[in-house]
Amino acid sequence: MRKIKEEIGRNYQTLDNGPISFDYDSNIDVETHPLINDSGWEVKIKCLSHPEYSLPTHVFPDEAMAHHYAKAQVSAIKNKIVNEARLRQYIRGLILNS
């Protein structure tokens, strides 16, 4: 019987095993800042590849609401981009097959 010289299931390449943050996307820039004199939090979302999906600054009373809004909007923007690409691919297929 041969002895296996390496362990299975170990990955030394990943230093951080935590979840990937929703705003870890070079295409979508999310800015969340507290306002002066504790009057709330502001969120501004900018989409670089599709500027029409960018959102103006919104103000929220607390950080949790601002974070939730940013997460929901980034998810919506990513879905719009993916759906647009799929729609273009589908229409192109229809045109080429006609």
Domain spans of the chain?
Answer: 28-97
Which tens digit of pLDDT belongs to each residue from 55-98?
999 999 999 999 999 999 999 999 999 999 899 899 999 898 87
pTM: 0.73
Alpha carbon distance 71, 30 (integer Å): 9
Residue in 90, 84, 70 with CA at minimum distance from that of residue 28: 70
Residue in 47, 55, 57, 56 with CA at minimum distance from that of residue 81: 47
Instruction: Name the DSSP letter for residue 8.
Output: S
Alpha carbon distance 85, 91 (integer Å): 10
